[in-house]
Amino acid sequence: MSDTSSASIPADEAVVVQKAPFAVDVESGKKYWWCSCGRSATQPFCDGSHKGTGFVPLEYAADKDGALYLCGCKATCKSPFCDGTYGKL
Ligand code: FES
């Protein structure tokens, strides 16, 4: 897993977890909480580590089984999905 240390990152900035998407399998009918802050140890999902920052997780309700590519750089314009922005970082 990537280094998710955020000790030197200001609370109002997202941590770039990795410059690539996370490929995850989701199940229809389940809800997932995508980490927008980059501080979670359970990427790409929230573990509550955003507390004290201005970030909140984004809920995603899966409407079918399958693989998703969720943003790993936390700079996507199509949260929670990867839009290729990591390639410009
Ligand atoms: S830990 Fe990052 S949004 Fe919750």
CATH number of the domain bearing residue 34: 3.40.5
pTM summary value: 0.91
In one-letter notation, the amino acid at residue 56 is V
Does the beta carbon of 55 lie inside 6 Å of ligand 1? Answer: yes
Please check whether residue 54 lies inside any domain of the structure: yes
State the Cα–Cα distance between residues 83 and 59, nearest whole angstrom. 18
Q: What is the pLDDT of residue 4?
A: 47
Higher-confidence residue: 80 or 3? 80
Q: What is the pLDDT of residue 63?
A: 97
Q: Domain span at residue 46?
A: 22-75
Does the beta carbon of 37 lie inside 6 Å of ligand 1? Answer: yes
Q: How far is the CA of 37 from the centre of ligand 1 (A)?
A: 5
Contact 27, 66 (CB under 8 A): no
Does the beta carbon of 74 lie inside 6 Å of ligand 1? Answer: no
In one-letter notation, the amino acid at residue 28 is S
The β-bridge partners of 67 are 25
Residue nearest to atom 4 of ligand 1 (CA): 46
Q: What is the pLDDT of residue 6?
A: 65
Please check whether residue 2 lies inside any domain of the structure: no
The number of folded domains in the chain is: 1
pLDDT > 50? residue 1: no
Does the beta carbon of 36 lie inside 6 Å of ligand 1? Answer: yes
pLDDT > 80? residue 85: yes
Contacts 24+ apart (CB under 8 A), 5-9: 6/37, 6/38, 6/39, 6/49, 9/38
